[in-house]
Structure formats: structure tokens, C-alpha cells
Structure 1
Amino acid sequence: MLPYRKAPLVLALGAALALTHPVVALAQDAPATEADGAPLPVDGADAPSATTLDRVVVTATRGSKAIDRIPGAVSVITRTDLDEQLRVVEDLSEVLATQVPGYAPSRGKMTSFGESMRGRTPLVLFDGIPQSNPLRNGAREGYFADPAVIERVEVVSGASAVQGLGATGGIINYISRTPRTEGTRHTFDLKYGTQFESDDAFEKGGYLLEHKQGAFDALGYMGWAARGVGVDGEGRRLGIEGTQGDTQDSIARDVFIKLGYDFAETQRLQLTYNKFRMAGDADWRAVAGDRDAGIPTSAERGMPVGEPPRNKARTASLEWSDADLAGGAALVQVYKQDFAATYGAGAFANFQDVSIAPIGTLLDQSEVVADKAGLRSSWVRPGFLADSLELTTGLDWLSDTSYQQLALTGRLWVPELEFESWAPFAQMEWEQGPVTVRGGVRREHATLNVDTYTTLATYGSRVVEGGQRSYTQWVKNLGAVWRFAEGWSAFASYNEGFGLPDVGLVLRAVNRDGQSVDKLVALEPVVTDNREVGLTWAGAQGSFTSSYYDSRSELGSQVRVDRVTGLGSITRTPVHVKGFEFAGEWRPHADWRVSGTYARTRGKTAVGEGLPLDLELGARTQGPDKALLAVRWTPTEALSLRLQGARYLSRDINEGRNTGTTIYEEHFEGYTLVDFGAGWETRVGEFSFGIENLLDRQYVGYYPQSQPNPDDLNYFAGRGRTFTVGWRRSFD
């Protein structure tokens, strides 16, 4: 790996290299694939044509299915969509906030606290492998791979019964690239972003190798990215999130390998490995702002205490698929994922222990470790018992071992959590003419084992008796799609999702004697049901989809933060979320595309058990209403331009509401951001140009404004006008 400070030299060498190789066409969007990378059949037919690729998904049904056959709100972010957004800012959460109506605004930090979807937490997958850590949600699942290895993103909005633990708010499945074309192909990708300030640069370099020869294919990627510290619209240094982690003043590296072999005509074996690391560079430290005076948090040069925050994710999987097993398509995937997130150091109140050091002097930092192993299997059989019936069945197994430690003193904050689940599932689909009906069940069998442990001194050094909790839950779904006219369809659906509260947060906060793991009511599962109706139209000059949903959980899981101590706790009260979403596109001319989205979300919960649902969900759980409008112009085959504006509407909730030292009142003054991006294909490669915050708007982000535990160190302004240039060259 090259040090990031050598990026300008690499840019120059890359440009020189491009001039010495023959010109080749740029890669187009790859065909839609199964999560294992195999080409997608559609209802047993041949692979779809290029014009229908973006309408075929696998995440929502565990098998290939056209979107207009799925009773629910499903969207696909293609590689073209990714490229257009990444011209402006290299952040997958920004892509989601732009492309998915119900996704909350991006924090722009290493942490994803507050980046909810439809008022709940989505399950994040990478090739079907869980990246979320629901047992101890450290909110770091947004950084696990370089965007360059992603081929497409499939998003299921709302609870899902088919993917397992954590899918109470929806599913975001990132699907990696797979070589499609015979031969060997090399791609160099370089980017540089700046606000023309010292030490503010974003620098990135990557190399992608794609090889396919007969039945064998291989893909390899190596990349790095370095980020400096930018400025806001008024020229003030942006604040550093020193505790939860920041993408500023950081270096990220990724190594990705995928090997595939097709044998026996219908079978495929595939091995995938990804190793990703992002860590702070420890050159800058936070400077408190003044929230009351409207002065945002800033940063100054200097080394922060302790080790810098970092993310480490390592994922490996082995997949076998057979497109013709007993008349159906089978998939078996075994995987291993190791994850560790280290947070910033400090003499925090909840880390103090007089037996180690005087109160207020003990420095420590926490680390969440989550290691997973699992199996995913499915079998899709069209024409099961009758031509109009399709059966999807399978079995999932997950083993998750998680804990949270205080790294500098070796203390255990959250005891080791040993979770194991087995979940058989079956789905049946019936199609008759313009009507498709799909329904099924999933049976969750899960156990949680925790040994006897002692809480930190802050909580009274309580001895909590270990034990086992067992969960058995039926999770159901039922829906129908009616294609009632040319291009028109309507759907109605009912979906349930199964999840657990943040077990680690519950166990570490026990502050009463005589407690035991097997008697803590707060560990009861979260079961969410999502009722939804929608209307969709697609024609020659445009398309749109709109939906209304009603999501409920009788025993929700809300994090409440004490404003004095800063300690979080779980409150188990009902949660009710309703909302409306719209996404549409108009193509008035072959060279023009106008697209827009709108999302309105209204969530309610209760202050306590048995009390009315009259408390609006805060920023930790729910995003603001938002609208986005974008115009794309391609005046020539080689040139594309995109201008987009996003409006986040103001929000004032729970005025005057508080319980003791917990304050529920939040205020958010909305803002509008405009971005511009351009791509130009030339004989020496593709050049890109992006301007983030084109109008140089001064603003404070949604979560920092609405922060449920506000102080002067978390009042973060957004980035001012930023210019990014890129160059990509592919050659055989």
C-alpha cells in the first residue's frame, strides 16, 4: 500500500500510464446477479436483457424476481447510480440518503447513529452476509468495504421476514462485482478532492483486476483513501467526532478477492474474501463550539489522547449454487465475519473507578468486537405442484459472539454474548394472469448465553447472574401485486420482522442487585409488523412508485440518554410509525432525465410502559421529511451532467417534554443542499468532476441540531463547497 501523502505522484503516474495503452470502451453496468454472483434467471427464463436488469432483485425474495412481481417497496441502486453520486462525495451513506426516500440524512462520520430508515434500524448485508451488530449496536456498520467493489445495492424498505435477525426496519444488501467478459481487464481509479485549504484533501487510489477464461473467473481489488479535515460554509474547520469516530483525518484500506468456477453446466462454486480497515490518523483533535451562540464544533492540529478510532472488518464466504437441482435453483453459502470497532479515548464519567485511579482522571476507550459465522441456504422451485405455483424454502444458521471491552484497562463493559439461531423458512408464490400473490413464514429458534459478570463501578459493581434466554418466534408475510393496466400495478403487503434490543446496552447498565440474565424483561425480542399499499407506473417517458406504510411493534426498543451522566439505557415501549414515500422519473427527451423523491415519516412512542403513544420519535430513530430533485443531461454519448438538490424540512418535536434528566424536546432548522457532478469519457479514460454543496451553504446537520444529548462537542456543521476530480482507465 502506498502512503496517502504520495497520492499526487500516483495521479501523475496513472495519467502517464493511461497514455501508453490503447483506448477501450468503458465498462457498462454488469448484469443483475444472485447474491452469490451467478447470473439471474427470471422465473425460470433466460437471463434478462439490458433494459430490464435494474428491475430484477434477489434480496426481497431469496430468489431472482422482477420488481413488478414483488409485493413491497423495493429499489435498486445500479452501478451507474453509484458512480454518479460518488463523483460528488465518497460515502455510501450519502448515496443511500440520496437514492432511498426513507433513509435519514448522512452523518458524514464513521458512526451511523441517527441514520435510520423509516424510523427504524435497517439490516445491512454484504453479499447476503450480515454487517450489522444488533447484539451490541455500535453504529459502525456503514464502513466495511470500498465502494469500488460494489456492483449494485438492493434496498427493501420496511420489515422483512425472509432475511433474519435485525430486519425490523428494512434491508440494505450491497452486492459485489463479478467478472462477465472473457479476457483480462485492468482498471485504475484515482480521485482528488479539495476546498483549497491546508490539509483538507481527499485522496484515493484503487486498482481493479477482472479476469474470465471459460468456466473460471477472478476479481481482485486493492484500494486506499485518505481524508483531511475540511471547512464549513464560513471557512471554519469542521469538527472532529473524537468519541464515536470520524471519517475526517482518516486512512482507509481495502483488499477484495473473488474467485468463481462454473462446472457441470449449471453449478458454480465461489470464494470471496474482503479485508477493510479505516482508522483515524491522529493529526487533529476536537475543539468545542458554543451551541447557544450558534458556533459549531471545530478542530485544531494536535494529537488526541489514546488510540484513534478505527473500524476493522474481515469477511469470507464460500458459495455453491445449482441452477437445476430437482427442477429448482439451489444456493448454499457459508460465511465468517470478524468485526472490531474502537472508539475514542477520554476520562468519561462511566469509565471512572476509584479503585484504579482518582475520579475524573481515569482515561479509557471502548471497543466492540463481534464475530459471526453462518450458513444461508435456499431452494427455489417454479412449477411446484402446479405451473402457477413457485416454492422458495431454505434454512439459515447464525452464530454471533459479541462483547465490549475497555481497551486501556482491560475491563469488560459488556460481557461476552453468545447468540445462536436456526431459522427454516418457506415462501409460496401463486401467479395467475395479472395477479401475483406471495406469502410465507419463517421460524426463528434462537438462544442467548451470558456468563455471570460484574458491571463497572459506575453502575455499582453489581454481580449479574448469568443464564440463557431462548426465543421462538413465527415471522410471517403476505402480499399481492395486481398489474391492472399496461404499465400500471398496485400492491398490498403485510410483513413481520424479528430483532432483539441492544442486548449489550441493557446488560452493561444493570444498576440493581439480585438481577439475572434470564429474568431481564428488557431482553424480550422486538417483533415489527409493516402494513403497506403502493401504486406503480412505468411507461416510455417515465415511471413512478408511491406507497403508504404503517409499522408497529408492541414492545419496541428506544435508547434514552441521561443528559447529566451521558449514559444510555433501553426503554421497552410500543413504537408506531406511519409514512408516505414517492419516487419518480420523467424522460422528456432521450438526453434528459428528471427524477425526484419525497418521504414523510411520523413516528410515535411512549415515555413509559402503559402510557399513551404521544411522544414523537427523536433524531436517533427518525429522520426529517425530505424531498430531492435531480436533472441529468447527456448531450453526447461521452458526456453526462447531473444537478441535484435535497431539501430537509424543519422539525420541532416534544416541546417542554422531559422525564427527570432525560429531555425529549428537539429542534431542527431545515436546509437545502445542491450538488453537481459530471462525467466525460475520452480516449485516455473517463474523467469525473463533482461539486458538493455547490452554493457553499452554511448549515448544521440534522443529527447535531437535534442531538438527544446536546453539548458543545457534538454541534457539527456540514462541509462547505468541495471540488472533486477523478480519473478512471480500463484496458485489456
Structure 2
Amino acid sequence: MNRTIVLSAGLLSGAFPMLAFAQSQPQSQPESAHQETVVVVGSRTPTQISQIPGAVHVVESADLQQQISAGSDLKTALGRLVPGLDFGPQGRTNAGQNMRGRSVQVLIDGVSLNNSRSLSRQFDSIDPFNIERVEVLSGTSSLYGGGATGGLINIITKQGESGRPHFETQASVASGFNTRHDFDRRLSQSASGGNDTVQGRIGVSLVENGRQYDAGGNEIFPDIAQSDLQDNRSLDILGNVRIELSDEQTLMLSGQLYESGKKGDRGVYYPNLAAASPNLNDADIRDGFTADRAPHTDRKMFSVNYHHANLLNQDFYLQAFHREEESSFHPFPYPAQDDGYYFAASQQNTTLSGLKGLFSADLTESLNLTYGADLDKESFDATQMRFDRAASDASGGLVQRADHITPRYPGFDINTLALFAQSDWWLTDQLQLSGGIRHQRMAVDIDDYNNVPGGSSDYNVTLYNISTLYDFDNGHQSWLGYSEGFDLPDPSKYYGRPGQTVADNPLDGIKTQQVELGWRYQGGDWLTQAAVYYAWSDTAMELDSDLNITQVDDDRRDYGLEASVTRFIGDHWEVGGTLHTLTSERKVDGTWQDRGITVAPYPSQDSLTAHVAWADNDRSLRLQGSHARDYTDSDDGRIDGFTTLDLIGSQNTGFGTVSLGISNLTDKQYSTPWGQRAVGFYSPNYGPEYLYDYQGRGRTFTLGWALEY
């Protein structure tokens, strides 16, 4: 039986620049709960989970593909499999999808997808077809730099292996059988192979989505605020070549081209734009939408990874990378000064280049030291396309023709240099102590914007972590740790406020501190882990009425419990689930109160999943449930909970595997967490609630086929 393994592991020691090399030596799927699993996310170098104090969850490719076969996208699948990570919002954005109530950093093979301008599109980045596994850290990371105050998700891509050419084909279609527009299709193909010296792989995946419908059979309104994946076409081309330079040296070249954008002509029709008293009421969805700037995400990414297994008697890793990203948004209605509305859409561009180096040395049999440096440069610029108002009014907002383009936010450049060190010391065969430090210096240059002068500022931050792990020598382990994380608030939205100069309004970084107590057991037919945590910070960012941010000195904290359990019964059955319960608060007049649903870091809902599965060598069946609990803040702001069921089955036919997934099995009507939060952000200032209350998709059937040959 191919068992799903979700394992707990370590406190991160820093941003391993060469995560791809963890896959240099192919790892076999564990056959029993007693076997070790090697992960990279725990310590920047391949490390057994039993040697890492902390909580790490490993999602293998087969587990991820099973969720995709039920109609999930990447962020939705991970939300169902990883405790501590919020359920996916179903649109293009992952805004508000936090881990342990704080922000999460997402990487592909060690290259960060996070930007200082927080666009929340890290999961609109890669097709699951090209993913080998996902390693997830829960909790604040001291040595990963900005953005990992709640956790870290590292996506490890598939690589070629030596031997005869190997091919993989996948195809699927999905529909809720509502109208002809309710139809999604996916086609993926890969080729890999090589010899003992050179191995390579290239994978191509094309996905075309139609429209989506809620449980009532109503067409779901587009997410006009952050954009969604309806009428969307995505193309992911990912390739890599691995070269054995010698017995001790390896070179890997990787590249990716990712394009994801709106292609259909369905759009929101506003019948009252040209009325005597213009308003956004009574809108519906019609054919005929066209825009000179429509939602899309385009990304190019390249990396070169070098590994020397014995440089100065140490392991040495070096990574150089470059990422270019262009993101555009849906035409958005803004109130005009002379009554009525005008539409505009932004395009925001980020370039990130960097170099990361790391040494790992065994000083003694029981003492290891990892140290290195991270260097990167990030550049950002943004424009706003304002559409011709006469054309918008005459077409009810369906025809959006460019009128003029202006700057949207001030551009900026950020140069970062960080030095780090981490040490692990086994005092005895059962007791380990770990500690680390990261010092990060950031030079931020802000461009002039709207007649407001720019300027420069420097940031220096030092972060620490310390932990202890005890192995009871019977499958049980426990750990206690303290760690710190850092976020640089979005400089574009901070200095995009009228009159906000750099010289008079310095922007401070936000440091998050966390303590964690955890336990795991791996033995017999059980896989379990649990951790309680407490995270706090004394400054935060808040949105103003113009959707820019202000910085406030405000105490905020998150504390809770995350847990997972899997029980294997005999040779075919498996039951399990995950639990995450937390409290998110801010201090007001000396009293802790539940944080508002639009107050950063945005509070999360308690969540619970459960599953029962049966499988043999040829077929499988899985029934799973997901439950999000109601959340009510101190001002009676509310995010309603929901419960959904999914059924997933597969059959090996001898010519590939056929799968059938039914998502939202009971056809539950509900509003997504993002949709409910978006109402608080955008309504009533930018229109009525229904424009932003993004609904969950109703019952949907996905039929797939996969073949390896």
C-alpha cells in the first residue's frame, strides 16, 4: 500500500539556498512508519526528521495529485493537507491564507516568491504536475528573512533521472454541469532521462478554466478586487538539467516560464453606470467583456545551483537566481469626483536577483555548524491604466479601453545582505541543543511619486533562535523552541499615501517572536504530531480608507494548537485528520480583544479535517471533510464557517490510471473566507457587498487520466 505520510520535523536554521540538491539522491517512498524521511526545509541541508526540533509537514507528489484530481488548486490542496495553514480562498489570490495567523513565505527550489509589495499570488506560480513534494514549516523562522513570520512553504520540483527516456502524461476535465461555460480542462506532458553524468527533465502543463457556479447554480461573480481563475488559461513550462561534474561536485540549471491570465469574454455588466444617479447595483454577468489590461500573472525564473561535498572539508552550496514577475488586475470601479464611477487596473512588476552561499561542517561527531550569506536585490514599479469612461458607461463596464496610464505606487529598490549561522549539538544520544543567529541589513531606495520626494533608509535586524529536542528512544520525541521572524511592511503602499515622505515618515520593520512546545510519535501504524505555540509582535500595519497602509504601535498576538494524526489499519485502510485552533488578539486600552477580520495580521478561523481511505495496488477511494469554524471579532465583524465533503477514487486500467473526484459532495452553499473578508475591505466605499463576496464553488466532478511510460 502506498501510504500517505505527513511527518513532523524541525526548527528552521535558515534559507537553504540549494533546496533542489535535496533531491540529488532519489528518496524512496517510506513503506512503514518506522523508516526515516530526509527533509531539507528543516535545516538547509538534507536532515532526518528525528534530528530537527520543530514542526514540518511533508506533502508528497502522490498526495498532492490526489487532491488535484478532486478539482483542487495548489493552495486549496495544501490547505486541506497541512495543519496550521488556512483553507485556500479559491481565487487567484492567496490573500488572508495565513499560517498560525501570520504571513507565510513560499519558495520554489529555494527561490522566494514573496515580494516586498505583497501581491499574494505566490500560489499562482507553478502547476502541481511539476511538483515532486512540498515541505512546510509551521511557525516563525529566524533565519529565512522577511515574510516567514507564520511559516514557510518550499515547493521542490521534479527532476530527471538516469536511464532510458521517461514520459508522463496527464489529462483531466471538470464541470458542475450548470451551463456550457462550466467546463475546465487540463493537459500535461513531461519527458526526462539521462546518463550517469547528465540528467534532465522538461514538463509542460496547460490549464483552461471556464466559469464557476455556486451550489445554487448561480454564476459566481468575478473577484474584481484581487482577480480569480475563471475564464483563465495558464501555461507552465519547467525544465532542469543536473550535471555530475565529479564524484564530489554537482551543477544544476533550472528555468521556468509561467503565464496565467484571463482569456474569456464573460464579465460584470453594470446597468446603472450611465443613469442620472449612477450606482453599481443590479449587476449581472454577460458576454462581451474586453479590456486593454486584464488579469494575468507572468513569471520567468532561472537558477544555477552548485554543490561541492568536500570543499575545505565542508559541504558547500551556492545558488544564483533571477526572477521577473508581471501582475495585472481586474478593472476596478473607483468613485469619480463628479459623481459616477471610472474604471482602472494596475500592473505591478517585480525583479528579484540574488546569490546565496552556505557551508556545513561537522566539527565533531556530535556538533554541526552551518553558516553562510544571502545577497539579493529587488526592484519594483507599478502603473495604473485608467479606462475611457464614455466607453465604460456605454457598455455597462464590459468594454474597457485605455485612456491614459499613470504611476500606481512609488517604485523602489531593496538591497539585502544577511549573514547567518546555526549550530546543532547532540549532548547525548537523546538530547540535542540548537541555536542560531541571522543579521540582516536592508537598504531601501524609494522613487519620487506624485510630486512627493523619495529617499533612502536603512534597516538592520538581528534574529535569534534556540531550541532543544529530546528523543525518548521509543518513537516519541518532544521539543521546546524560541524563534524570531521579520517582515518589512509594503513600502509601496506605505509611501503611496499623499504627502508621505521618506525623510519624515521612516518605516520600521515588524519583528515577530514565538515560543513553541511540540511532540510527535512515529511507530507501529501511527503517525502523529502536535504543537502549541505563542507568537507576538508590538507593531503592525493597517489599511486606511484608500487601501494604503499606516504603521501603528500595537501589541498583537496569536496562540493555539495544531495537530495531525494518521492511523493505518491493516493493509488497506487509513483514517486521520488535522486540527488547528487559535486565538488572534490585539491590545486595546490595555485589554486583549479578538482582532478585527480586516486587521493585520488577518485572523484565521479554527479548522478541522478528517478522512477515511481504502487502497490496494490497483484502486483507491478517499472520503474527506473540511470544516472552518465561525469567527467573530470584538466589533461583531464575522467570517462564517462552512463544512464541505470530497470523494476521490482511482482505478489502474493497465493503460494508465483513471480518477474521478467530486468536490463539495453535498453541494454546500457558502462564501469563501476571502470573499467575506473582501466585503470588509471594499464595501461600501467601492460598491455593494455582493460585488466582493466571492462564493465557494458548488458540486464539481473531475475526470482524469494519467500514464507513466
> Is contact 2:671-2:693 (8 Å) kept?
yes
State the alpha-carbon separation in 2 of the partners of residues 170 and 649 from structure 1: 22
Corresponding position: 1:322 with 2:308? yes
Q: Paired residue for 2:346?
A: 366
Residue 524 of structure 2 is aligned with which of 540, 557, 565?
Answer: 540
> Is contact 2:618-2:652 (8 Å) kept?
yes
From the superposition, tell whether residues 401 and 492 of structure 1 become closer, same or farther in structure 2 (CA, over 3 Å): same
Secondary structure of 1:712 counterpart: helix
Which deviates further from its counterpart, 687-696 or 463-472?
A: 463-472
Q: Paired residue for 1:618?
A: 597
Supply the AA of the counterpart residue of 1:718: G
Give how far 1:280 is off.
0.8
Q: Paired residue for 1:729?
A: 707
Corresponding position: 1:560 with 2:548? no
State the alpha-carbon separation in 1 of the partners of residues 652 and 79 from structure 2: 27
Which deviates further from its counterpart, 415-424 or 81-90?
A: 81-90
Q: Paired residue for 1:458?
A: none
State the alpha-carbon separation in 2 of the partners of residues 192 and 286 from structure 1: 26
Which deviates further from its counterpart, 303-312 or 248-257?
A: 303-312
Give how far 1:438 is off.
1.1
Secondary structure of 1:38 counterpart: helix
Corresponding position: 1:439 with 2:435? yes
Corresponding position: 1:677 with 2:663? no
Q: Paired residue for 2:555?
A: 574
State the alpha-carbon separation in 1 of the partners of residues 453 and 146 from structure 2: 26
Residue 221 of structure 1 is aligned with which of 185, 190, 203?
Answer: 203
Q: Paired residue for 2:474?
A: 486
> Is contact 2:493-2:548 (8 Å) kept?
no
Secondary structure of 2:581 counterpart: strand
> Is contact 2:583-2:594 (8 Å) kept?
no
Secondary structure of 1:415 counterpart: strand
Residue 430 of structure 1 is aligned with which of 416, 425, 434?
Answer: 425
From the superposition, tell whether residues 49 and 632 of structure 1 become closer, same or farther in structure 2 (CA, over 3 Å): closer
Residue 403 of structure 1 is aligned with which of 381, 384, 387?
Answer: 381
- CA shift digits 1:619-643 (9 cap, x unpaired): 6612210110011111x31111111
Give how far 1:155 is off.
0.7
From the superposition, tell whether residues 338 and 712 of structure 1 become closer, same or farther in structure 2 (CA, over 3 Å): same
Give how far 1:568 is off.
5.5
> Is contact 1:296-1:700 (8 Å) kept?
no
Q: Paired residue for 2:617?
A: 637
Supply the AA of the counterpart residue of 2:560: G
Map 1:440-519 to 2 at 5 A. 440-454=436-450, 463-509=451-497, 511-512=498-499, 515-519=500-504
State the alpha-carbon separation in 2 of the partners of residues 693 and 288 from structure 1: 31
Give how far 1:304 is off.
5.0
Corresponding position: 1:414 with 2:409? yes
Residue 188 of structure 1 is aligned with which of 164, 169, 172?
Answer: 169
> Is contact 1:242-1:285 (8 Å) kept?
no
Secondary structure of 1:85 counterpart: helix
Give how far 1:82 is off.
0.6
Q: Paired residue for 1:20?
A: none
From the superposition, tell whether residues 697 and 298 of structure 1 become closer, same or farther in structure 2 (CA, over 3 Å): farther
Secondary structure of 1:614 counterpart: strand
Secondary structure of 2:332 counterpart: coil
> Is contact 2:522-2:528 (8 Å) kept?
yes
Corresponding position: 1:332 with 2:327? no
Residue 153 of structure 2 is aligned with which of 172, 177, 202?
Answer: 172
Secondary structure of 2:680 counterpart: coil
- CA shift digits 1:14-71 (9 cap, x unpaired): xxxxxxxxxxxx9x99xx99944335699xxx97884488732112311111222211
Corresponding position: 1:705 with 2:688? no
> Is contact 1:288-1:713 (8 Å) kept?
no
Supply the AA of the counterpart residue of 1:471: Y
- CA shift digits 1:443-464 (9 cap, x unpaired): 101110113322xxxxxxxx43
Corresponding position: 1:264 with 2:242? no
Corresponding position: 1:390 with 2:373? no
State the alpha-carbon separation in 2 of the partners of residues 286 and 75 from structure 1: 41
Which deviates further from its counterpart, 571-580 or 392-401?
A: 571-580
Residue 37 of structure 1 is aligned with which of 20, 26, 32?
Answer: 20
Q: Paired residue for 1:235?
A: 217
From the superposition, tell whether residues 296 and 549 of structure 1 become closer, same or farther in structure 2 (CA, over 3 Å): farther
From the superposition, tell whether residues 210 and 34 of structure 1 become closer, same or farther in structure 2 (CA, over 3 Å): farther
Supply the AA of the counterpart residue of 1:650: D
Give how far 1:242 is off.
2.5
> Is contact 2:293-2:385 (8 Å) kept?
no
> How high is the sequence identity, in percent, across the aligned residues?
24
State the alpha-carbon separation in 1 of the partners of residues 547 and 158 from structure 2: 42
State the alpha-carbon separation in 2 of the partners of residues 128 and 264 from structure 1: 24
> Is contact 1:333-1:376 (8 Å) kept?
yes
Secondary structure of 1:508 counterpart: coil
Q: Paired residue for 2:398?
A: none
Give how far 1:606 is off.
4.2
Alignment coverage as a number of residue pairs: 659
Corresponding position: 1:715 with 2:673? no
Secondary structure of 1:37 counterpart: helix
State the alpha-carbon separation in 2 of the partners of residues 713 and 304 from structure 1: 19
Which deviates further from its counterpart, 178-187 or 395-404?
A: 178-187
Q: Paired residue for 1:112?
A: 94
From the superposition, tell whether residues 166 and 76 of structure 1 become closer, same or farther in structure 2 (CA, over 3 Å): same
Give how far 1:494 is off.
0.7
Secondary structure of 1:524 counterpart: coil
Q: Paired residue for 1:377?
A: 357
Secondary structure of 2:75 counterpart: helix
Secondary structure of 1:341 counterpart: strand
State the alpha-carbon separation in 1 of the partners of residues 418 and 496 from structure 2: 28
- CA shift digits 1:518-551 (9 cap, x unpaired): 3324x10111111100111111111211110000
State the alpha-carbon separation in 1 of the partners of residues 561 and 57 from structure 2: 15
Q: Paired residue for 2:389?
A: none
Q: Paired residue for 1:74?
A: 56
Structure 1 vs Structure 2 CA RMSD: 2.6
Give how far 1:181 is off.
4.5
> Is contact 1:39-1:47 (8 Å) kept?
no
- CA shift digits 1:150-201 (9 cap, x unpaired): 1111111111122222211211110111123522111111110011231111
> Is contact 1:36-1:270 (8 Å) kept?
no
> Is contact 1:60-1:162 (8 Å) kept?
no
State the alpha-carbon separation in 1 of the partners of residues 17 and 659 from structure 2: 30
Give how far 1:484 is off.
1.6
Secondary structure of 1:517 counterpart: coil
- Superposition TM-score, scaled by structure 1 size: 0.85
Supply the AA of the counterpart residue of 2:626: A
> Is contact 2:258-2:299 (8 Å) kept?
yes
Give how far 1:566 is off.
5.8
- CA shift digits 1:415-460 (9 cap, x unpaired): 1111011111110110121112111101101110113322xxxxxx
> Is contact 1:236-1:298 (8 Å) kept?
no
> Is contact 1:233-1:698 (8 Å) kept?
yes
> Is contact 2:573-2:612 (8 Å) kept?
yes
> Is contact 1:332-1:375 (8 Å) kept?
yes
Supply the AA of the counterpart residue of 2:657: E
> Is contact 1:124-1:131 (8 Å) kept?
yes
- Superposition TM-score, scaled by structure 2 size: 0.88
From the superposition, tell whether residues 103 and 648 of structure 1 become closer, same or farther in structure 2 (CA, over 3 Å): same
Give how far 1:613 is off.
3.9
Map 1:286-365 to 2 at 5 A. 286=268, 299-303=285-289, 305-349=291-335, 360=340, 362-365=342-345
> Is contact 1:160-1:170 (8 Å) kept?
yes
> Is contact 1:529-1:551 (8 Å) kept?
yes
* Ranges in structure 2 where 5+ consecutive residues have no aligned partner: 10-15, 272-280, 387-403, 684-688
Map 1:15-34 to 2 at 5 A. none
State the alpha-carbon separation in 1 of the partners of residues 670 and 449 from structure 2: 45
